[in-house]
Amino acid sequence: QVQLVESGGGLVQAGGSLRLSCAASGRTFSSYAVGWFRQVPGKEREFVAAISGSGGTTNYADSVKGRFTISRDNAKNTVYLRMNSLKPEDTAVYYCAARSIGWSTITARYDYWGQGTQVTVSS
């Protein structure tokens, strides 16, 4: 069982930066791949970025490539999402999720989810 808690969301102006954190419980966190997803009201949750358990492999949605960076510190059981050059269209609730068998871009393949953190980018 893995419990995830996101933090770091907030209100930022366009062009600004935020760093989201996803803190996990459990002693085997390094065996879990973690993904970040986001959702706006009325739309499906969409993939943002993912990282393998070791941190050696990452993947990004085209919409955030070059602006967002996913990383992890397994000693702290934490995954980060650094978001630079934020745009109003990045406004959403951001969720982290974990799965034990490799990263995926597909929401349904993740077993554990956090409660989400709101990111609002003003123009």
Query: Which mean pLDDT values do the consecutive 10-residue runs of the chain (123 residues) have?
Result: 95 98 89 97 97 96 98 96 98 97 93 97 97
Please give the span between the terminal C-alpha atoms of the chain, in angstroms, as a whole number: 40
Task: Express each pLDDT in 97-111 by its tens digit.
Answer: 999 988 999 999 999
Q: How many CA atoms lie within 13 A of 116 on its CB side?
A: 12
Q: What is the pLDDT of residue 28?
A: 84
Q: What is the pLDDT of residue 27?
A: 72
